[in-house]
Structure 1
Amino acid sequence: MNDIGINVGYRILKYYLWQQFFFRAQVNGEKTRPSYYKVAHTLKEFEAEKPTFQDKHLYNCTFTIFDLETTGFFPEVGDEIISIGAVKVTEGKIQEKDTFYKVIDPLQTVSRKTKKFTGLKRKDFKNGVTLPVGIKDFLEFSKGTILVAHPASFDINFLQKRLHKWELPTFQPEYIDSFALANALLERNDCYLDAMVKKFGITERTRHHALNDAIMTAEIFEHLLKICYKQEVHTIRTLHELITDK
């Protein structure tokens, strides 16, 4: 077994032997706070008021392009969200002044490696908000829009699993995976963020900062929407069909 496998195995063992019990105790403590019930209520509202976008023209949709920074790749065994960044795209154009950014103070200690990777410091977490507060604010920012992430298969899944760990209501938003969309439109399978930034000549920002990555993803998404129009893909339904068929 290689070093990565050993590290993952150790973390899984650590989580199931004791960390999960510590986490549950912390969540039970958070459940006594008003912020917990506020985010639970907001999640229910988000689901109840989720509009149907399927036949709406892409030009008439508002998208919330977002990115998560996390302590790792495994939300099932304790990895947490430490920042959320987002920006809106309306009528096919990025709204640079309509942005969202929150640092989340996690329940577990953030490793030195993660701090170096994301550029976040101890003072950032100290001044950050709890997950319930951060998620509530993000939902309020993105309400009535379609979520977009690159890749959404990671960000949406991570959000869903962490909310489940917090014993919060189900989160099933309308979303687009811009990584999958780029692969379908460009007939490739390697349309990662850095590659698309270079392909479309997008100004590079400091990576692994949630808002910077969200803005670069939004700029990529602008280009993808233009390609959609050229390929006669005009609605959310046909966009999803394009991704599914590839």
Structure 2
Amino acid sequence: MTESRTPRSIVAVTAHSGDFVWRAGGALALSAARGDAVRVICLSFGERGESQGLWSRPGMDMETVKRVRREEAEAAAAALGVRVDFYDLGDYPLTVADGDRDRIVAALREARPDVLLTHVANDPYNLDHDTAHATALRTRMIAQAMGHDPAGTPIGATQVLMFEPHQPEVCGFTPNLLLDVTPVFDRKRKAMEVMSAQGHLIEYYTELGRRRGVQARRNGAPAGVVQAEAFQRVFPVVGDELI
């Protein structure tokens, strides 16, 4: 995949170590394939509430669950061609302390993202996702502040895109971007297949991608678009003409 374009920086802030795979794996792989710097911040391993496939095994313990979740997420990130950082803040509930926020702010100032991906603001099924969303916006705000660590350089007006939740109609999710990920869906599929702790989600998100692909075609995408991911912008897009 070759394009004449300036490489960008993409950062995803996710609650659990599998979230970036299911909900934005195609977008992340597409950006990486285009030469963008792509970084995923996993706030937790999802070891308590997102690892049913592991806890159902006899003799399972917390240390093993965390290790497996980390290994699977690293393998998935490698399949997508992206960098992943683990903060190990715990889940169910996810709690982000001041020091954790400072660490994320530093990461944002280092990465200087053009786009920040995260969860929706209101997911009644999983409040960890709400926490991750609030954390992404809060750290973006702090990273923009000139008076925060004046020795550093503030970031600009990074666009924020919310990726699709598991039950969008309950979360107030209204997509305004359908992204064609057909060229890299093989990478997303490979990444999904290594996530054994949540293997039941593979076909769900494969089928969801097909449905979003149909919707993309109905909205003017070429006939070759098969797999798509849906996103909702938090901030307006600035342009010089109506589209």
Structure number having the greater helix percentage: 1
Return the TM-score normalized by structure 2.
Answer: 0.30
